[in-house]
Structure 1
Amino acid sequence: MPPLIDNENVTNQSLMDQEKKSAMDEHENKSNPEPISVSMNPDNVKENDVKDECLSEINQEKTCTGEDAEKEEEEYLDILGNGSLKRKILRAAAKNAKRPISSDLVTIKVEGKLEDGTKVDVYDSLSFVLGDGDVIQAWDLAVALMEEGQVIELQTDARFAYGEKGRKPDIPPNSSIAYIIELVKKDYPMDYESMSAAEKLKYGENKRERGNFLFVREEFVSAINSYNKAVRILDPATCSDTAESLQKLLESRLKCYNNMAACQLKTDAYDAAIKSCRMVLDVQPDNVKALFRTGKGLAAKGETKEGLMYMRRAQKLDPDTKVINQEIMKLSKKLQAESQSEKDMYQKMLGQKPPAKTNKQSENSSSVWKWTSVIGGVTIAIVAMGITAYRHLQH
């Protein structure tokens, strides 16, 4: 059987973290001198006075440092209110600059750093549709609050970046990242319906690749979102072009439906998975993946017999695929167990099962049946003879 999802070559995206700077003051420890007498101190300064003055300076320095830290913290906007996503404005936007809204096409310049200073996600120009899930969640949330020309520092926990899995090879699991982001420009939402087939294919494939990336990371709900957006873009009915171009759109769209069905099975959305597969089978009745996943969905719903039927159709087209053969064996055993369970249930409804007959009882029953048949035959013959004689006498 072909790979679980179509075209899983996903281009890794990178992320960035801001380097944290700290300044440390060095204090040189000196040994305490002998006590100074008044006669040896021309300025008449007592040792305790010197200590008090030093302590006062240290306390003042600590107070200033604390105030600076508090002031710096106040410059950050806690976007979600829980400290997991914070931003600070590094350069303000122009006076009449506008914010983008969901579905706008935005272009950003971005650079990120991990806590160890490693640079990730460095892009001089990166465009994406705001709110479509094409990038990490931290960017979608932060850019929605920016204005054209504005530059911010964004600090995000792993949850809104690359999570527990990280991203090989450059981002370890559970990595917090600091980004410097500039919103270069914002454009109006994409008008997919007016695009040519080639343009539709380009943007639709981008969505599909994003879905594949999320599928591999087992982020199935987000992957479904990307595939769903892809099938809308790839609709060949909304454009007129060459037959070859429209065929490419259709094939890419069917891949999205198939991959979406795989995600829906993973999230126990069986009816939705069956519906996605039927969108494929309406066009390609012999699509093995769609047949297999339809069978899986039906079986999961308890429709074992129907599920097994689809599995056998898939097996007929692709007899050497191990996973299909294993599923058929499993469903066959399940169907047999269900049939036996139904028989047992009917017997309980009709009463106890009658005791099994012994050989002697069976022989006696057979003999009685034979004699009954003979007697019945003789009786019928006598009646027939009587009727014939009666008719003869009437004439």
Structure 2
Amino acid sequence: MTQNFIIHIGPHKTGTTSIQNMLYARSLQSSASFVYPFTHANQTGQHEFARTASDPDHSKLGSLLEILSGIEKTCVLSSEELSFLPVASLQKIRAALPSAEFTIVYYQRNILSLLPSWWQELIKHGGVEDFTRFIQDAIALPGRLHLLVPDLLLSNWASVFGRKAIKIFLYDQIPDVAQQFASDLLGLTSPPGERTDNNKSFEYIECEMIRLWNAYGFVGIDAIQAQESKFLRTLVAERADRFMENMTIGYDIEKFLSIESTLIARWGDRIEGFTGGRLFALREQAYSYINSNFWTANPDLVSAMCAFAEVTARRKSQSSATSPILRDLRSCERDMDAWNQIEIILTAARQREQLLERQLANETERSHALEIVISTLVSSITWRGLNRSKFKKILTDVAKSTPSDGATAHRHEVYLYQAQKLLNDC
């Protein structure tokens, strides 16, 4: 029997979470007509598989591919990180499944709405770059952003699985991508009133608040989700009004127009429902943003936000630290000097990280303790009586524990950069 694989490669910000949540929920049904492997309730996309597959020589990849080779039903894989697998990895997947038929699913979103959405995602995961700089960089060097090189990503997959395997859908024309995926690719009907969950999005003001917290070494996404942050949001909105400016981008930007033209020329026959003309109806978009001088002009607001973030972080740390090691740490903190506190936190975090690594296949959860350590180091640099050489040694140890790639690595880099900057300013 011929195996059938549907591989959804995203990319980011095209309803991938909604699709993955739908696939996971449907795959648990006793009547499911497809298999959705390597997932669990806390990770409904095959991101761990994608990270493993990114190294074609990874020791675990062979066993994962062997599992896939034994699946008889239609098998669905979905992860945004699959989109930029190297050709060598794709060849290894293809070689392990020589008789299988493949459908490679890609959603193309209008660049004008895609870029702000991706900036927000970066900010949610610890980014500190302001909106205007992000847009300017995207215009100047679009090749640095994977979302702006769809031709390259699709060409890699087509070189291994063939052009006919590629299916491209225009995201902006689909009211509900999860229901569309279920219907068009799996032949499933959606029950009336079925909900499809998406990642929470934030308004621009909230993103700017998150960005500020990130820049000061806090986890901005945690601070903004605290109920009390609404009061701060009101203050920021009121004061920011006279600092608001506007920016317009559109397909008069040659590099953006080139991306659209290349998609039409090279992939028009693989775009579902495309009969010619332009891909994107929206040709120009205006955005409002806060001038970068706003925070400099409002130091009291910055101080209030940092104080709020410190309280929020302390509260979250206390509620999430459930291991005996961390409970003991809290009970004896009053009797230790600052450096001993940091070293014990570091030891406890590493022990918890090792415990989670044995129990969970979720990189995000495994790295949470390490993030607490790094943020603690950032805060510690403001304490008095610091030994700079000792701080540098601990900072180096933390840097060695940082992953080499992925969203977790990006967040760690932000913490480490901020810590080093503060150290240099002392």
Q: TM-score, normalised by structure 2?
A: 0.22
Structure of larger gyration radius:
1
Greater relative contact order (CA < 8 Å, ≥ 6 in sequence): 2
Structure number with higher helix proportion: 2
